[in-house]
């Protein structure tokens, strides 16, 4: 029996104790815990009061070292590619090409005074791939790629996570590329002329031997690269022809000793083309230097290019089926002229064509044009007039899209007949319910009116007395 009363007593006291706790919390609702962040001294003292923060308008400040959305201040970026190489998941895509000396002024310098020597048409960060490790931010020499405190940037479409930081319009890019190509051609021609003067020799046989090898060596790597990279951009073939030719062409002129190395470099160049804008020009130069310094081997270049200065370089865009076009040409004229002409010309453009293209663009050309045209090269040994073709870069399809504030879509509900009908039916149902309630009350009133005659109240309970 005492157990019974004890249980009841416990029940009462614990209920009261519980009510006390909730009452205290309710009274404390006048206070808010505030938005002191983890870095704040007061962080652990925020005990009393409402814990909720109204998120979009109230946020706990993110620490300064927090790693959230990346931002690249493109105007401060020198396109050095170090961030892309640091990234463990390859989510940064950089495309850049040299600034011609007369444009250096226009290219300007970064906020810390570094001169910019590369244009930056493409700087894409795929934030869907990014794992927020922040490794890309450390090597940046100009500190332009940074982690921002913005962490709330979800999207409905994954492709919206690719942020475009490149700071050139497609038109400007095309113009500058053209200019660069022209400049490089002129420069190469100049250099070739200087180099050619002392050494008129032919090393056709070496070239014959090596050229196919180069073609063979390159294609597996390219194929691998192709598998890795699925995106093909619009003007693939046009660019590709040049590219392959440029990659493949130096080989014929290189000395046998350097051949393997040069080929490897060139292949690497072409294969790893995309993310290494800075490196590729250097390698290309290296290859070119080797070729030039290779004594007798340099001859064909000299021979071929010699006529160049006399001829104005025609500005024409290389049509897509260039490979096919050049090929028949080669066969027609047999061993005499144009193949040699076109080949070294694009060979020269190795140096020119600093610019990198996704490897898969290179691939088709490697298959058909490069191998074949190169094969025809050795036959030539006579100096021939050269047609210099300057590639015209087609404007890129990608728009320059700044990753500024994205306004979320607002989706209005569809207005459908069924919705309206169901609304009407529910209203009618509601009205019926209300009617039922009223009817009940009415019936009650009637019932009362019928059944209760006015009766005298009991005198003894009438408090009014």
Partner 1 sequence: MQPSIQPVWNKGLESFSESLTGNPVLGWVIASAFPLVFVALFALVAVYAERKISAFMQDRLGPMEVGKWGLLQTIADILKLIQKEDIVPKAADKFIFVIGPIIIFVSSFAAYAVLPFSSAFAGSSLNVGIFYAISITALEVVGILACGWGSNNKWALYGAVRAAAQIVSYEIPAGLAVLVGVMMAGTLDMQKIVMAQGGDAGILNFFVFQSPFAWLAFVIYFIASLAECNRAPFDLPEADSELVAGFFTEYGGMKFAFIFLAEYGNMFAVSVILSVLFLGGWQSPFPNVGGVMLHDWTSGPVWGIGWIMIKSLSFVFVQIWLRWTLPRLRVDQLMYLCWKVLTPFAFVAVLGTAVWELYFRQSSVSVLVCWIIGGLAVLFGFYKMFIAKGETPKSPKIIIAQR
Contact residues for partner 1, defined by CB under 8 A? 4, 8, 12-23, 25-26, 28-29, 44-45, 47-52, 54, 418-419, 422-423, 425-427, 429-430, 432-434, 436-438, 440-442, 444-446, 448-449, 452, 454-455, 457-458, 460-464
Is residue 386 within the footprint of ligand SF4 (CB under 6 A)? Answer: no
Sheet holding 118-126, edge to edge: 92-98, 118-126, 162-164
CB of 14 to partner 1, least distance (A): 7
* Residue 411 Cα to chain centre, angstroms: 28
Name the residue nearer to partner 1 (CB basis): 58 or 155.
Answer: 58
Find the length of the chain: 465
Asked if 273 and 226 count as a contact pair (C-beta separation under 8 A), the reply is no
- Given the structure tokens 């070294």, which residue do they identify? 344
123 phi and psi angles, rounded to 5 deg: -145, 90
> Quick check: 130 binds ligand SF4 (CB under 6 A)?
yes
Residue 55 binds what, of partner 1, ligand SF4, none (CB under 5 to 8 Å, by partner type)?
A: none
Q: Which of 43, 132, 433, 447 binds ligand SF4 (CB under 6 A)?
A: 132
Q: Select from 264, 287, 247 the least CA-distant residue to 374.
A: 247
From the list ligand SF4, partner 1, none, pick the one residue 16 interacts with, judged by a Cβ distance below 5 to 8 Å according to partner type: partner 1
Which stretch in 20-28, 53-61, 77-85, 384-392 sits in contact with ligand SF4 by CB under 6 A?
A: 77-85
| Residue 460 interacting partner from partner 1, ligand SF4, none (CB closer than 5 to 8 Å by kind) | partner 1
Minimum distance, C-beta of residue 82 to ligand SF4, in the bound complex (Å)? 4
Contact between 81 and ligand SF4 by CB under 6 A: the answer reads yes
Interface with ligand SF4 includes 82 (CB under 6 A)?
Answer: yes
- Cα 280 to Cα 10, 60, 69, 224, 262: the distances in Å are 82, 46, 30, 19, 13
Give the residue, chosen from 95, 119, 122, 140, that forms a contact with ligand SF4 under the rule CB under 6 A.
Answer: 140
Of 87 and 211, nearer to ligand SF4 (C-beta) is 87
Give the CA diameter of the chain.
Answer: 142
Regarding 150 and contact with ligand SF4 (CB under 6 A), the answer is: no
- The span from the CA of 241 to the CA of 264, in Å, is 19
Q: Does 128 bind ligand SF4 (CB under 6 A)?
A: no
Q: Please identify, using beta-carbon distances, which residue of 79 and 192 lies nearer to ligand SF4.
A: 79
Smaller CB separation from ligand SF4, 50 or 131: 131
Q: Which is nearer to partner 1, 32 or 187 (CB)?
A: 32
Q: Smallest gap, in angstroms, from Cβ of residue 413 to partner 1?
A: 9
148 or 425, CB closer to ligand SF4? 148
The verdict on 83 binding ligand SF4 (CB under 6 A) reads yes
Half-sphere exposure of residue 404: CA atoms within 13 angstroms, side-chain side: 4
C-alpha to C-alpha distance for 367 and 372, rounded to whole angstroms: 8
Among residues 385, 393, 8, 335, the alpha carbon closest in space to that of 172 is found at 393
Q: Which of residues 86-105 bind ligand SF4 (CB under 6 A)?
A: 86-89, 91-92, 94
Choice from 139, 170, 307, 395 touching ligand SF4 (CB under 6 A)? 139
Nearer to partner 1 (CB atom), residue 111 or residue 428: 428
Q: Which does 406 bind (CB under 5 to 8 A by kind): partner 1, ligand SF4, none?
A: none
Question: Could you tell me the smallest distance in angstroms from the CB atom of residue 115 to ligand SF4?
Answer: 12
By a kind-dependent CB cut-off of 5 to 8 A, residue 139 interacts, out of ligand SF4, partner 1, none, with ligand SF4
Say what the alpha-carbon torsion angle 224, 354, 241, 195 is, to the nearest 10 degrees. -120
The count of chain residues that interact with ligand SF4, using the rule CB under 6 A, is 30
**∠ Cα 319 323 328 (to 5°):** 110
- Tokens encoding 382: 């006579």
**365 interacts with ligand SF4 by CB under 6 A:** no
In sequence order, what are the beta bridge partners of 435? none
Q: Tell me the C-alpha distance between 454 and 367, whole Å.
A: 112
Using CB under 6 A as the binding rule, whether residue 369 contacts ligand SF4 is answered as no
Identified binder of ligand SF4 from the candidate list 33, 78, 254, 303, rule CB under 6 A: 78
- Residue 132's binding partner out of partner 1, ligand SF4, none, with CB under 5 to 8 Å set by partner kind: ligand SF4
Alpha-carbon distance values, 39 to 53, 58, 61, 70, 363 (Å): 17, 17, 9, 22, 53
Interacting residues toward ligand SF4 by CB under 6 A: 70, 72, 77-83, 86-89, 91-92, 94, 125, 130-136, 139-142, 144-145
């Amino acid at each position: 029996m005492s157990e019974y009363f004890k249980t009841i007593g416990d029940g009462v006291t614990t209920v009261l104790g519980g009510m006390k706790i909730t009452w205290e919390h309710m009274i404390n609702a006048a206070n808010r815990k505030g938005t002191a962040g983890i870095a704040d001294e007061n962080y652990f003292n925020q005990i009393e009061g409402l814990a909720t923060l109204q998120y979009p308008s109230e946020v706990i400040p993110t620490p300064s070292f927090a790693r959230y959305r990346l931002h690249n201040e493109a105007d401060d970026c020198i396109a050095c590619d170090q961030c892309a190489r640091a990234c463990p998941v390859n989510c940064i895509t950089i495309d850049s090409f040299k600034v011609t000396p007369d444009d250096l002024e226009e290219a300007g310098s970064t906020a810390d005074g570094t001169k910019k020597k590369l244009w930056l048409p493409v700087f894409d960060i795929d934030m869907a791939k990014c794992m927020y490790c922040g490794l890309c931010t450390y090597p940046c020499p100009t500190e332009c790629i940074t982690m921002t405190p913005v962490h709330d940037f979800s999207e409905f479409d994954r492709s919206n996570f690719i942020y475009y930081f490149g700071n050139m319009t497609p038109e400007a890019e095309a113009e500058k590329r053209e200019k660069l190509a022209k400049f490089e051609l002129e420069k190469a021609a100049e250099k070739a002329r200087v180099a050619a003067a002392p050494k008129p020799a032919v090393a056709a046989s070496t070239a014959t031997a090596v050229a196919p090898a180069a073609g063979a060596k390159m294609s597996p790597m390219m194929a691998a690269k192709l598998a890795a990279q699925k995106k093909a951009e619009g003007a693939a073939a046009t660019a590709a022809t040049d590219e392959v030719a440029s990659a493949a062409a130096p080989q014929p002129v290189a000395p046998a000793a350097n051949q393997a190395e040069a080929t490897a470099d060139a292949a690497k160049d072409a294969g790893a083309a995309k993310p290494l804008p800075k490196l590729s020009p250097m390698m290309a130069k290296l290859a070119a230097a080797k070729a030039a310094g290779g004594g007798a081997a340099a001859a064909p270049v000299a021979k071929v290019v010699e006529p160049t200065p006399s001829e104005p370089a025609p500005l024409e865009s290389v049509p897509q089926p260039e490979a096919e076009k050049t090929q028949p040409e080669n066969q027609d004229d047999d061993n005499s002229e144009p193949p040699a002409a076109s080949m070294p010309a694009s060979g020269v453009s190795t140096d020119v064509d600093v610019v990198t293209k996704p490897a898969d663009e290179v691939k088709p050309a490697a298959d058909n044009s490069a191998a074949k045209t190169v094969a025809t090269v050795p036959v030539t040994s006579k100096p021939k007039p050269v047609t210099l073709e300057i590639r015209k870069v087609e404007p890129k399809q990608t728009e320059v899209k700044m990753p500024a504030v994205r306004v979320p879509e607002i989706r209005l509900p569809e207005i459908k007949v069924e919705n309206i009908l169901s609304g009407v039916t529910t209203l009618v149902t509601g009205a019926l319910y209300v009617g039922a309630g009223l009817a009940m009350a009415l019936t009650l009133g009637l019932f009362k009116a019928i059944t209760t005659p006015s009766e005298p109240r009991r005198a003894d309970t009438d408090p009014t007395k």
